[in-house]
Amino acid sequence: MRREYSSLLRWLGVALAALSLGFLIFGTPGGFLRKLDYIGAAVCHRRASHSFFIAGHQLPVCQRCTGTFSGALTGILVHWGLWKRRRSQQFPRWPFFILPLIFAVLWVLDGLNSSTADIGISLLPRLGGQAVPGAGLLGYVPQPWLRLLTGTMMGLSMSLVLVPAFNQALWSDGEEKATLRSGREFTQLLVIEGSVAGLVFLLQGTSSPLALYVVASYTIAGVIAMFTLLGAMIFILALYRENMAAGWREARVPLVWGVVFAAFVVGFMDAARLWITGTIDGVPALS
C-alpha cells in the first residue's frame, strides 16, 4: 500500500531547497561561473596546476574530478535516457565489475602518483633507477589526459553501482533485470564515456565561452546529481518508504530532499574549507 508524504514534509523540502538555491545565488560572490566554483570546491582541491582552462577560465574542478563527475553523469544519462533502464533493479553480473574495479585501482594509483609528484617523492631512485624529473611515486610524470581518463572511467564505475541502487530503493514498478545486460552495452558505454572525455580534452585550452559554460555546467551537474540521488536514497531508507514511487512524478518528494542533502553537503564542505584554508581556490602553499 502506497503512503503519501505529509504536506509538511513536502513543503518543508521545497522551502529548504529554495532557500539553498537562494543562498547560492545571492549569498555567494561573482557570477554564474563563480557559483559553480563554490559547488566544485566542496569536492575538489581546485588547484590551477591540475585543472583545465577554457577561454582563460579555470574549470570548477580539477582534471580528475572533471572526468569523475562528468563520467558519472554520462553513465546515469545512458542508463536512464539511452537504455531506458529506469525500472531495472538488478546490479550487473559480477564479470562486468572486473573492469570497473581495475578502473578504480588505476584512479587511486594515478592520484597517488600525482600527489607524490607534487612533493618530489619517487620510487625509482630508491630502487636504484634513474630519477625522472617531475615523476611521482610510481615513476612517471603526471599527465592531464591521464587524470581526465582515469577520472572518467571512475565515474563510469560509480554509475554502474548508483543507478541500480537508486532503482532498488525508489521504484514500486521495478523489474528483476540488470541495468547493464551485455558486453555490447558495456562497450557502448565505454565508447560514449571516452568520447565525452575526448571532447573535453579537445575543448580545453580553446577560447570558446560556449564550451566553457557547457563543460563547467555539465561537470557540476554531475556533482549535484550524485549527491541528490544519494540524498534521496538516504531520505527513503530513513523513512522506510522504499519502493513507493511508480514514476518520476511520484519521486518528486525524495528528489527534492535529495537536493536539500546536496546543498547541505556542499555548504558544509565549503564552510569547513573556508574556515581551514580561507579560500576555495586551490590549496595554500601548493600551486
**What is the tens place of the pLDDT at every residue in 90-124?**
999 999 999 999 999 999 999 999 998 888 777 65
Q: In which domain, by residue range, is 210 found?
A: 7-107+155-277
- Cα–Cα distance, 16 to 264 (Å, whole number): 10
Distances (CA, A) of 39 to 24, 55, 268, 280: 9, 20, 11, 10
Residue 141 lies in a domain: no
Q: What is the pLDDT of residue 287?
A: 58
Q: What is the pLDDT of residues 123-141, one digit of tens each?
A: 655 555 566 778 888 888 9
Residue 2 lies in a domain: no
Residue 129 lies in a domain: no
Residue 142 lies in a domain: no
Question: What is this structure's pTM?
Answer: 0.94
Domain count of the fold of the chain? 1
Residue whose C-alpha is closest to residue 266's, from 36, 59, 12: 36
Percent pLDDT > 90 in the chain is 85
- Cα–Cα distance, 199 to 211 (Å, whole number): 10
Beta pairing partners, 156: none
Phi, psi at 116, each rounded to 5°: -75, -25
Residue 99 lies in a domain: yes
- Cα–Cα distance, 77 to 167 (Å, whole number): 14
Q: What is the pLDDT of residue 213?
A: 98
Residue 227 lies in a domain: yes
- Cα–Cα distance, 245 to 258 (Å, whole number): 15
Residue 127 lies in a domain: no
Residue 120 lies in a domain: no
Q: What is the DSSP letter of 78?
A: I
Question: At 14, is the pLDDT very low, low, confident or very high (cuts 50, 70, 90)?
Answer: very high
Q: What is the pLDDT of residue 194?
A: 98
Q: What is the DSSP letter of 54?
A: E
Does 11 score more than 90 pLDDT? yes
Bridging pattern class, strands 53-54 and 57-58:
antiparallel
Angle at 51 between CA 31 and CA 139, to 5 degrees: 165
- Cα–Cα distance, 128 to 145 (Å, whole number): 29
Q: CB–CB of 128/107 below 8 Å?
A: no
